[in-house]
């Protein structure tokens, strides 16, 4: 079992992107998916960093793939998706319309925003060319176990969401713009103010969700450390870690130590808690429970 770094869903400056991927080149992760996942309007501000990041990650021995957008609607977004194929790297499909541009037989990856819930879907994707699939985070463990067997038979590497705010929903509406009383087309890129998303609490102050442009995430950070051994035993081949603005290199190192068996899940959680005192955790989807729960308990206020 190894580690895959998810595409960064947030809007960071070009400088922040450059330094993040430069550091990541030395991290103990096997592969990195990058590119704009959430909003095509952000891309012009940082797209020049992508080839630099690819070069430095590949020089660091990482396998690199490029993600499609999560929700493709506009003409230029469709062209962007078609153009991804010409770049010589595997494409990670996070909106199924990307498949329209991928010829039969060309290998591709499937991200967690594509609905792979059952054997029929997994087999169909495998025969269409999928070589690596990250399952949707809400999938119960019983389903993960069934799909792990099918994936092995089909020769597909299967990944499970390992760490990071859970991608819960995608919309045509931009919530960052809405919170700033702006329309989507005149958003003035306010999502750049929130490098880990903007928190949304209940009226009673319960920490609940995080908005990131058109995306809604959990406010708690999923942490599947407790489940890593069980997932490996099922045949899951990688845990997926989502970028965050602080402490990501230490986090990658800790997860690598966890997989190598020289750091316990408990110690990993304690390290994370010490480095990020405000970070809330959840692992309910790994326990067939509400996703927001952590180690069998409701998330505290």
* Residue 37 interacts with other proteins (CB under 8 A): yes or no: no
Q: What is the CA radius of gyration of the chain?
A: 18
**Considering the complex, what minimum distance in angstroms separates the CB of residue 90 from other proteins?**
19
- The answer to whether 65 touches 58, Cβ cutoff 8 Å, is no
CA-based nearest residue to 132, from 151, 106, 118, 104: 151
Strand partners, 34: 66
- Is the Cβ of residue 119 or residue 192 nearer to other proteins in the bound state? 119
97 binds other proteins (CB under 8 A): yes
The count of other CB atoms within 10 Å of the CB of residue 61 is 11
- The whole-angstrom separation of Cα 203 and Cα 240 is 32
How far is residue 25's CA from residue 283's CA, in Å, rounded to a whole number? 28
Which is nearer to other proteins, 61 or 124 (by Cβ)? 124
Minimum gap (Å) between residue 52 Cβ and other proteins:
29
Please report whether residue 231 would count as binding other proteins according to CB under 8 A: no
Cβ distance 186 to 232 under 8 Å? Answer: no
Tell me, residue by residue from 206 to 225, as one string, x for binding to other proteins by CB under 8 A and - for no binding.
x-xx-x----x-x-------
Distance CA 62, CA 64 (A): 6
Query: What is the nearest approach in angstroms of other proteins to the Cβ of residue 95?
Result: 7
Q: Which stretch binds other proteins (CB under 8 A): 39-47, 51-59, 161-169, 235-243?
A: 161-169
Q: Is 76 in the site for other proteins (CB under 8 A)?
A: no
Whether 174 has a binding-site annotation, put simply, is: yes
What is the CB-side half-sphere exposure of residue 117 using CA atoms within 13 A?
A: 2
Name which of 123 and 276 has its Cβ closer to other proteins.
123
* Residue numbers 119-148 binding other proteins by CB under 8 A: 119-125, 136-140, 142-144, 146-147
Q: Write b or e for each residue in 73-83: b if 16 or more Cβ atoms lie within 10 A of its Cβ, otherwise e.
A: eeeebbebbee
Helices 265-275, 248-260: crossing angle, 10 deg rounding: 170
Helix 14-24 vs helix 248-260: angle between axes, to the nearest 10 degrees? Answer: 30
78 touching other proteins, by CB under 8 A = yes
Name the minimum Å distance from CB 40 to other proteins.
12
Is 187 annotated among the ligand-binding residues? yes
Give the C-alpha separation, 237 to 256, whole Å: 13
Binding residues for other proteins restricted to 243-272, rule: CB under 8 A: none
The pattern of x and - marking residues 183 through 202 that bind other proteins according to CB under 8 A reads xxx------------xxxxx
Residue of 36, 285, 286, 294 interacting with other proteins (CB under 8 A): 285
Residue 282 known to bind ligand:
no
From the annotation, which residues make up the binding site for [4Fe-4S] cluster?
Answer: 39, 174, 187, 191
From the annotation, which residues make up the binding site?
Answer: 39, 174, 187, 191
């Amino acid at each position: 079992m190894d580690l895959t770094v998810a595409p960064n869903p947030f809007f960071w400056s070009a400088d922040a992107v450059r330094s993040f991927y430069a550091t990541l080149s030395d991290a103990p992760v096997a592969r990195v998916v990058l590119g704009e996942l959430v909003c095509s309007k952000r891309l012009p501000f940082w797209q020049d960093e992508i080839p630099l990041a690819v070069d430095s990650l590949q020089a660091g021995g990482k396998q690199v793939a490029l993600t499609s957008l999560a929700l493709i609607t506009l003409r230029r977004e469709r062209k962007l998706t078609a153009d991804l194929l010409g770049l010589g790297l595997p494409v990670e499909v996070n909106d199924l319309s990307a498949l329209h541009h991928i010829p039969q037989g060309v290998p591709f990856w499937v991200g967690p925003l594509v609905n792979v819930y059952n054997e029929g879907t997994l087999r169909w994707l495998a025969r269409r060319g999928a070589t690596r699939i990250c399952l949707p985070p809400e999938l119960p463990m019983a389903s993960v176990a069934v799909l792990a067997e099918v994936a092995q038979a089909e020769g597909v590497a299967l990944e499970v969401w390992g760490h990071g705010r859970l991608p819960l929903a995608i919309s045509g509406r931009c919530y960052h713009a809405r919170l700033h009383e702006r329309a989507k087309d005149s958003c003035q890129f306010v999502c750049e103010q929130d490098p880990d998303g903007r928190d949304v609490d209940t009226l009673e102050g319960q920490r609940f969700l995080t908005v990131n442009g058109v995306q809604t995430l959990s406010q708690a950070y999923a942490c599947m450390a407790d489940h890593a051994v069980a997932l490996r035993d099922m045949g899951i081949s990688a845990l997926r870690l989502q970028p965050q603005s602080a402490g990501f290199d230490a986090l990658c190192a800790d997860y690598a130590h966890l997989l190598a068996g020289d750091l316990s899940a408990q110690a990993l959680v304690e390290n994370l808690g010490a480095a990020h005192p405000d970070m809330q955790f959840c692992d309910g989807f790994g326990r067939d429970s509400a996703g927001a729960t952590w180690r069998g308990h409701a998330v505290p206020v």
